[in-house]
């Protein structure tokens, strides 16, 4: 099964709609609720990151019998120092993002915590690619 | 464990949506205006106590499987928030008390902290 969701940069009223759709699909597939929660929390963090920092992005979801693989690619400023971005508490979020309840520098560490595999690559002034893999069994 | 109907009564609060769930019991409470912190929780059967009244509060709760949200400091729920909460079976409660006062009452009633 393959699905693609578009993510609009800076549109906080729509932030979370893609993750919400994935949650509905995983529920319909009777995936263990604990795995659903871990997966959608990491997807939502990633989706909010695209909305907060990028111009636009896509969430590509592939569901296999044993795992879910999600690739989130955005067009945006990119991350100059990924190691720094992975540190808890490091944030470049704007005041607007903080007003929405985010921007505490917890997003990427929380994605790592809630995924079985996480790969991230980024090019400054091009964008960021994030891959999340969670095993369903 | 605290019954939703009892906490609504003690906090002089109003239920905005999810009135069918008032007999349910809640074990834990977590107070935060920072959704980044809420997303790090692994706890089930939790009441989120917050003063952050925007759509992302509801989305965060949806992703975190939080079924009850108490808005403090007289923060009002928008129609958009209400619609999204109803769609996801999330009970929304509004209360005029400060976060500190609401938390102290809930603690006295037996609601447990997450950590």
| Contact (Cβ atoms closer than 8 angstroms) between residue B13 and residue B32 | no
Helix or strand or coil: residue B112? strand
Pick the CATH number of A2-135 from 3.40.50.720, 3.30.43.10, 3.30.70.20, 3.30.565.10: 3.30.565.10
Separation CA A94–CA A84 (nearest Å) = 17
Residues of B contacting chain A (CB within 8 angstroms) = 33-40, 52, 54-57, 59-60, 62-65, 80
A23 at interface of B, judged by CB pairs closer than 8 A:
yes
**Average model confidence (pLDDT) for chain B?**
96
Q: Do B39 and A113 touch (CB under 8 A)?
A: no
Q: What is the CATH number of the domain that holds B12?
A: 3.40.1390.20
Q: Do B54 and A101 touch (CB under 8 A)?
A: yes
pLDDT tens per residue across span A37-87: 999 999 999 999 999 999 999 999 999 999 999 999 999 999 999 999 999
**Average model confidence (pLDDT) for chain A?**
95
A5 at interface of B, judged by CB pairs closer than 8 A:
no
Predicted ipTM of the assembly = 0.94
């Amino acid at each position: 099964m393959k699905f693609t969701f578009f993510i609009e940069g800076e549109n906080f009223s729509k932030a979370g709609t893609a993750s919400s759709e994935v949650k509905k699909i995983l529920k319909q597939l009777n995936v263990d609720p604990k795995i659903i929660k871990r997966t959608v929390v990491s997807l939502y963090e990633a989706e909010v990151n695209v909305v907060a920092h990028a111009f636009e992005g896509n969430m590509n979801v592939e569901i296999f019998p044993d795992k879910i693989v999600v690739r989130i690619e955005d067009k945006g400023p990119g991350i100059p120092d990924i190691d720094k971005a992975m540190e808890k508490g490091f944030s470049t979020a704007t005041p607007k993002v903080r007003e929405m309840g985010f921007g505490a520098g917890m997003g990427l560490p929380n994605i790592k915590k809630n995924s079985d595999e996480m790969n991230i690559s980024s090019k400054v002034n091009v964008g960021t690619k994030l891959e999340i893999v969670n095993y369903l069994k | 464990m605290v019954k939703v109907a009892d906490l609504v009564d003690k906090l002089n609060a109003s239920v905005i949506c999810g009135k069918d769930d008032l007999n349910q019991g809640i074990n834990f409470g977590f107070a935060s205006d920072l959704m980044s912190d809420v997303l790090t929780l692994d706890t089930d059967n939790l009441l989120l106590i917050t003063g952050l009244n925007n759509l992302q509060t509801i989305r965060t709760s949806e992703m975190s499987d939080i079924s009850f949200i108490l808005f403090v400091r007289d923060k009002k729920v928008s129609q958009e928030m209400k619609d999204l909460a109803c769609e996801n079976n999330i009970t929304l409660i509004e209360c005029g008390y400060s976060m500190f006062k609401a938390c102290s009452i809930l603690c006295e009633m037996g609601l447990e902290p997450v950590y």
